[in-house]
Chain A
């Protein structure tokens, strides 16, 4: 169950900083460990930057979750860019069509508990990342 949510733009690197800082503040409030904070914020940075660089920008939906007694945070970043034709390939370490190292997608997936990607050529990319405390 989502108890509160917020939609933020993801069009510039300043937007990305605001998303990172908002999530960090929520996680401190919900008493996530420093390590969990660092992991999710880093994953957001990777996925957000991909949305800016490859997807031409988009938006971020931030949700505070409550399930039974557990609190969680879900971040959904989407863009209306070209999409990813071969997701398996894009998720491989060191695969990059740009000038990156190619650890963004695969690394972000390792950093969060639940990572869900939906992307189709011509229809953009949406990535959901969820963590529970």
Chain B
């Protein structure tokens, strides 16, 4: 199976999660994403779920892990584009995306990343 493409936009990476994921695709994505964040000195990652038709407990856990790993590497992670049916199903299943930043769509996610990156820069300068 083809790897999931990672689009590089400025300091950010956009990951467009495909419709139906196999477990091994998710595991490989976790690996390639973290390596790319370091190699390209990425400041923010957008995980776009707008095409996704299913988030079960395995995928939900992996999304949470990807956000935490990205944060550990010093970048911000935002999940965008969750469809209403997915949100309702995840909550009924018992999967809340706690401590994970979300935005409505890619555009809003980019704005959020820019604000977060700017805040970080101001924070950094003010401590010098």
Contacts and interface: CB of A to CB of B under 8 A. Distances in A.
B94 A45 contact: no
Given A13-B22, A17-B22, A38-B85, A103 B93 contact: yes
A49 B20 CA distance: 15
Contacts of B124: none
A3 interface: no
Contact of A103 (B22, B88, B89, B94): B94
Interface in A11-69: 13-14, 17, 20-21, 24, 34-35, 37-39, 41-42, 45-46, 49
Interface in A76-113: 93, 100-101, 103-104, 106-108, 110-111
Given A38-B85, A41-B54, A93 B94 contact: yes
B95 interface: yes
Interface residues of B, number: 21
A35 B54 contact: no
Contacts of A111: 89, 92-93
B107 interface: no
Contacts of B22: 13-14, 17
Contacts of B57: 46, 100-101, 103-104, 107
Interface of A: 13-14, 17, 20-21, 24, 34-35, 37-39, 41-42, 45-46, 49, 93, 100-101, 103-104, 106-108, 110-111
Closest 8 pairs between A and B when the two form their complex, measured CB to CB: A107-B93, A45-B56, A103-B94, A38-B85, A35-B85, A13-B23, A34-B85, A38-B89
